[in-house]
Every structure is written in structure tokens, then in C-alpha cells.
């Protein structure tokens, strides 16, 4: 399950600017058996929870419409995750406290997402931390989780008999929507079938929530990193899944009712940031 989404990032109060690169998602093995992260796919929704259009066709009952498909590398059993343990997927796996004391040290992250960036705004790549395989990413610069907290995130798996190339060829989302009386095409979007999805979380600012962008069979509610969308307000904020109970051997079992409104603690300090 998705245990934590740190989408708010940090903010440098001295310069009055956002600090980028320290976002992360924590994924937890909620079972009593060792599982393998190999092939696990991280997804970001194409649609935002703060703006709704009538998309034709509407495939939500069959698939999540996504703009990022990033997969953990591995041949099947290279990346074990013990029962009750978590892995960290992050933007830049470096010690961010060296640049900003209120940020996080992510040098021990398990994987990072890397999109290359541009010559003027390069992405940071730690060669000691494996990169996710970018099957598709809408941006050719640096991908950041939505700091406004207005998209859904999910994890899933593509069946072994479907290659990355076949997925890109066969699962394009071709649709239209009407905005201010003008019919427009949906661009840079793919369908990820709901049956491939293991866990999904809708995020939306409380003051801007309009709708959920995944099927209610995946998530009936939503959580939020902030009341609004301001970078200053959302800095340092995450959503953290609640613990349902702890087993006798100390394994935390996280709450998973497919309703993010009750499964997550909203707008709390990210767990990997230094204590205030």
C-alpha cells in the first residue's frame, strides 16, 4: 500500500522560494510475507481533482487515466521488501539538509525518478540509487509531484506478457472534452486498467475539491496535504496512512479500507523531515 505521499516539498523561508527535489512516496509491505518491488509501477493521474470536465469517452470504471508510468527495475526477486517494511521512491536521493536544514536526507532512498531535465534546469541523479524506468512521463524537464496536492497517485503492475513498448502502443487514452464551449483533445495520457492497480490515493486541497479521478472501487474518498494550494502552506506537509494495529512481533499493519478520507492522516509533517 501507499503509506505516505510527501508532495508538498519544502520552502526556503530565507529566500522566499520553493525548494525542489525532496519529494518522496513511501510504499509499505502490509502483508505477513516478503514481497518484491521489482516491476512495481508508480502512477500519477492525468486529471486533477480540483477541475472537472466531461471526458469522452469516460473510462474511469475501467481504467485510471495517467500521465506518468514509472516502474521499479528488476527481474523479479532483486528487491525484497520484508513484512511491515517500506521502500522510498524519491525525486533526488541526496542529503537535502546540506542545502536546506528543514528538508530531508534521502541518501538512503531505495529508488529515484529521473527525467533528465534541461541544460538550465538539470535533474539530479545519484548513481548509487537505482532509477525508476520511465515507461511514460508527460514532461521532458524535471517531474515534480503536484505541490498543489490535486492529483491522484497509485501503484500497480503491468502484466508480464505486456512489454513497455506494447503498453505505449496499445493503451493510449484518446478522448475529447469541452472547455468554455471549445472541444479539445486530451494529450499525453494513457489508460492503466483498474485491475492492474494495487492501491490508489486521491489528493485534493480541501478548499478546491471537485471530484475523484479514480474509480470508487479503488478509492472512495480523498486526503489532502493542505487546505489550499499555496506553496508556503503546503511545504513540509504529507499524507500518512494510519496504523490499524501492530502484531505481536511488532509489525505495523496499516489501515486500508479503500477510502483515503479515513485511511490517512491529512496535512501532517512528512515523516522523513527533521523534527521541529
pLDDT digits (tens, 9 = 90+) for 215-242: 999 999 999 999 998 888 999 999 999 9
Question: What average pLDDT does the segment 97-112 reach?
Answer: 97
User: What's the average model confidence in pLDDT over 106-117?
Assistant: 96
- Say which residue, 194 or 230, is predicted with more confidence: 194
Q: Is the pLDDT of residue 22 over 90?
A: yes
pLDDT of residue 275: 86
pLDDT the model gives residue 231: 85
**Nearest CA to 64 among 189, 167, 224, 210?**
189
The Cα–Cα gap between 77 and 48 comes to 35
User: How confident is residue 273, by pLDDT bands cut at 50, 70 and 90?
Assistant: very high
Confidence of residue 112 (pLDDT cuts 50, 70, 90): very high
| Cα dist from 223 to 30, 87, 239, 240, 259, whole Å | 20, 21, 7, 9, 9
Q: How far apart are CA 115 and CA 123, in angstroms?
A: 7
The average pLDDT across 101-117 equals 96
Share of the chain above pLDDT 90, in %: 95
CB 202 within 8 A of CB 223: yes
The average confidence (pLDDT) of the chain is: 97
Q: Indicate whether 254 pLDDT > 80.
A: yes
Burial class for 164, CB neighbours closer than 10 Å (0-12, 13-18, 19+):
middle
Confidence of residue 17 (pLDDT cuts 50, 70, 90): very high
Strand pairing report for 182-185 and 176-179: antiparallel
Give residue 120's pLDDT band: very low, low, confident or very high (50, 70, 90).
confident
Region 195-213: what's the mean pLDDT? 98
Cβ 178 vs Cβ 54: under 8 Å: yes
Q: What is the pLDDT of residue 121?
A: 87
Mean pLDDT on 33-40: 98
| 276 pLDDT more than 80 | no
Amino acid at each position: 500500500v501507499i503509506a505516505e505521499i510527501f508532495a508538498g516539498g519544502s520552502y526556503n523561508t530565507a529566500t522566499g522560494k520553493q525548494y525542489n527535489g525532496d519529494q518522496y512516496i513511501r510504499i509499505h509491505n502490509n502483508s505477513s510475507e516478503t514481497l518484491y518491488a521489482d516491476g512495481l509501477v508508480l502512477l500519477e493521474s492525468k486529471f486533477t481533482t480540483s477541475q472537472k470536465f466531461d471526458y469522452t469517452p469516460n473510462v474511469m470504471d475501467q481504467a485510471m487515466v495517467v500521465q506518468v508510468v514509472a516502474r521499479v527495475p528488476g527481474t523479479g526477486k532483486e528487491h525484497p521488501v520484508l513484512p511491515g517494511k517500506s521502500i522510498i521512491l524519491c525525486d533526488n536521493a541526496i542529503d537535502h539538509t546540506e542545502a536546506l536544514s528543514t528538508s530531508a536526507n534521502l541518501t538512503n532512498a531505495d529508488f529515484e525518478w529521473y527525467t533528465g531535465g534541461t541544460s538550465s534546469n538539470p535533474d539530479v541523479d545519484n548513481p548509487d540509487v537505482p532509477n525508476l524506468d520511465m515507461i511514460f512521463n508527460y514532461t521532458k524537464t524535471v517531474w515534480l509531484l503536484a505541490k498543489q496536492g490535486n492529483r491522484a497517485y497509485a501503484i500497480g503492475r503491468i502484466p508480464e506478457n505486456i512489454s513497455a513498448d506494447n503498453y505505449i502502443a496499445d493503451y493510449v487514452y484518446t478522448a475529447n472534452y469541452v472547455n468554455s464551449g471549445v472541444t479539445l483533445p486530451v494529450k499525453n495520457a494513457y489508460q492503466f486498467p483498474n485491475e492492474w492497480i494495487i492501491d490508489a490515493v486521491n489528493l485534493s486541497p480541501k478548499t478546491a475539491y471537485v471530484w475523484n479521478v479514480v474509480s470508487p472501487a479503488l478509492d472512495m474518498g480523498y486526503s489532502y496535504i493542505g487546505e489550499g494550494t499555496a506553496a508556503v502552506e503546503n511545504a513540509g506537509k504529507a499524507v500518512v496512512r494510519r496504523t490499524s494495529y501492530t502484531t505481536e512481533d511488532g509489525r505495523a499493519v496499516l489501515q486500508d479500507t479503500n477510502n483515503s478520507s479515513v485511511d490517512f492522516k491529512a496535512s501532517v509533517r512528512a515523516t522523513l523531515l527533521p523534527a521541529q
